């Protein structure tokens, strides 16, 4: 914790006052209480739109489970959101979902299967990992079988599914509203907050990764 605080203080000198103010302001609302998990999503425009929705709701992490496809957002669509959102890549398998579950997340597959709870009625009481499926096939059968619950978005027309990026945007927004209205302490703890502020600072600085690595080496932190 002390090392992180010192590191952030060191990096501040390379930031403009405006960028530092933004980092300190927006990081305070950040949360990993809702973790979006992409089940082999591949269309780069969808990936980019998902990143934007996640960042707009201040959930600053996405897990991309990859098999045949690479989660590679189109940077012209993200509008800079990729600077703030961490993408953790994992193999597409049940072991990866078990890893996420072991971190304390309840696994929710976004699907109409298994008597899904409708999003407006869902009560969020603990950290959840929302698994979104591919553009064509949806969430895979093995993921649905592994999930603790399934969650669905109500639809009122002939269309029976939303585009994956639209579904992610709706879920992120609705769940954020539920958290804002709750008494849940959903924001990052001090350790995670500092880790994120350091990452944001590094991403905001020209040659930030090199400056950061040199600092760590000099401090014998590595």
Q: Residue 221's pLDDT is what?
A: 60
| 153 annotated binding-site participant | yes
pLDDT along the chain (222 residues), means of 10: 90 96 95 92 77 92 79 52 84 94 97 90 97 79 94 87 88 97 96 95 93 90 56
| Cα–Cα dist 202/15, whole Å | 9
Q: Is the pTM of this model over 0.85?
A: yes
Q: Residue 72's pLDDT is what?
A: 64
Q: Residue 70's pLDDT is what?
A: 61
Domain boundaries, the chain: 32-189
| Residue 32, C-beta contacts closer than 8 angstroms, at least 6 positions apart | 59, 60, 61, 127, 188, 192
| Residue 183, C-beta contacts closer than 8 angstroms, at least 6 positions apart | none
Q: Residue 180's pLDDT is what?
A: 97
On whether the 32-189 domain is CATH 1.10.1740.110, my answer is no
Tell me the Ramachandran region of residue 165: left when phi exceeds 0, alpha when psi lies from -120 to 50, beta otherwise.
alpha
| Cα–Cα dist 27/22, whole Å | 8
Q: Residue 77's pLDDT is what?
A: 41
On the 0-12 / 13-18 / 19+ scale of CB atoms within 10 A, 9 is exposed
| Cα–Cα dist 151/119, whole Å | 6
């Amino acid at each position: 914790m002390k090392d992180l605080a010192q590191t952030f203080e060191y990096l501040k000198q390379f930031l403009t006052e405006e960028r530092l103010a933004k980092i300190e302001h927006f990081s305070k609302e950040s949360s990993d209480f809702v973790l979006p998990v992409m089940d082999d999503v591949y269309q780069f425009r969808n990936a980019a739109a998902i990143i934007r929705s996640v960042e707009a709701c201040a959930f600053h992490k996405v897990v991309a489970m990859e098999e045949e496809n690479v989660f590679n957002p189109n940077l012209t669509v993200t509008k800079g959101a990729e600077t703030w959102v961490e993408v953790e890549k994992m193999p597409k398998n049940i072991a990866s979902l078990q890893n996420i579950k072991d971190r304390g997340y309840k696994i929710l597959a976004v699907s109409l299967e298994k008597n899904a709870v409708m999003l407006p009625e869902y009560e969020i009481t603990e950290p959840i990992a929302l698994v979104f499926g591919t553009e064509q096939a949806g969430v895979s059968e093995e993921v649905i079988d592994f999930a603790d619950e399934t969650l669905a978005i109500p639809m009122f027309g002939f269309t029976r599914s939303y585009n994956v990026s639209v579904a992610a945007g709706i879920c992120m927004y609705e769940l954020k509203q539920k958290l804002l209205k709750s008494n849940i302490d959903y924001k990052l703890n001090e350790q995670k907050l500092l880790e994120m502020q350091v990452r944001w600072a590094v991403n905001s600085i020209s040659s930030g990764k090199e400056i950061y690595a040199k600092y760590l080496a000099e401090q014998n932190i590595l």
